[in-house]
Amino acid sequence: MNKPKTPPYSDIDLNRWREYEHVWTDSLWMIDARDRSGGHQLDYHGNFVPQIATQAFLRYTKRADVVLDLFLGSGTSAIEAVRLDRRFVGVELKPDLVEYVREKIPPELLGERVHLLQGDSSTAETADQVQAALNQMQSEHAQLLMLHPPYHDIIQFSDDAADLSNASTLEQFLDDFESVVRNGYELLEAGRFAALVIGDKYTQGELIPLGFYCMARMQRVGFRVKAIVVKNITGNERGKGQDGNLWRYRALAWGFYIFKHEYVIIFQKPKNG
């Protein structure tokens, strides 16, 4: 029997590559519905579908690798890390949300394989907290960085001035996002990957390509782009109901297209980074 041939960043045996049909390699992801198994719930505005975390973890981590999520939210990535036997560090600005996610994680894993931290991911103090958590797990760096920031001011998540959804201008949002990315870059192992989940928005009749603006900021920090995945959001939207016809009318009348997609942009930190 052949010795397993795996990349340095995953458990995929390339000798058996035909057997990995459940691991996606195309750049268009058609996801009809959110996975609600294994503890996942549609319980929070703006959370991403678990299938994104599943694919990122299978492609870019090995078992027991550490996933770092600097926008924890309702804990989608934490739940999936537990399910796939990865270790995890998550940072969330809202204290009540940190406690809510804590309730979703098996108690025996908290403080051991799963560390949930409250803090502002753009600050040096929070980066120090993450480093301390990594040290507790005998890991100098994380092996995968997940980033799912607010799409600027589309949804206001809190009244906290440090919340990126409260950024007064697009430039402030991007500057604050870049500060988070710089922390993530330093905390990520060289040669490993980052996944940015992001969508665009309209403001005063103009398309604001947040995805590409955020991609440029990550490149400025030092990340290299590996792939741009387009994911459909049909079937994952909330509360559209009969508004669909109204949006179609507006699109025809005002010259725009209705969002049916968002991006999963994959980056790699250079090995000498």
Q: What is the pLDDT of residue 36?
A: 57
Look at residue 6 and tell me if it is in a domain: no
The pLDDT of 12-39, averaged and rounded, is: 86
Q: Does the residue 34 lie in any domain?
A: no
In a domain, 27, yes or no: no
Round to whole Å and give the CA distance between 111 and 45: 27
- For residue 14, is pLDDT > 90? yes
Q: Give the C-alpha separation, 173 to 163, whole Å.
A: 9
Tell me what the pLDDT averaged over the chain comes to: 91
On the question of pLDDT at 39 being above 70, the answer is no
The band of 38, judged by pLDDT with boundaries at 50, 70 and 90, is low
User: What pLDDT sits at residue 160?
Assistant: 83
- Residue 23 is predicted with a pLDDT of 97
Query: 243 vs 175, which has greater pLDDT?
Result: 175
For position 50, which CATH number holds? 3.40.50.150
Residue 70 belongs to a domain: yes
Domain that holds residue 157: 45-235+243-268
Predicted confidence (pLDDT) at residue 172 exceeds the cutoff of 90: yes
61-84 pLDDT per residue, tens: 999 999 999 999 999 999 999 999
pLDDT of residue 114: 98
State residue 113's pLDDT score.
97
Is it the case that residue 154 has pLDDT exceeding 90? no
Better-predicted residue by pLDDT, 245 or 42: 245
> How much is the pLDDT for 239?
44
pLDDT of 2 > 50? The answer is: yes
Residue-wise pLDDT tens digits, 101-148? 999 999 999 999 999 999 999 999 999 999 999 999 999 999 999 999
Q: Evaluate whether residue 222 is within a structural domain.
A: yes
Residue 233: its pLDDT value, please? 77
Domain count, the chain: 1
**pLDDT tens, position by position, 196-230:** 999 999 998 899 999 999 999 999 999 999 999 99
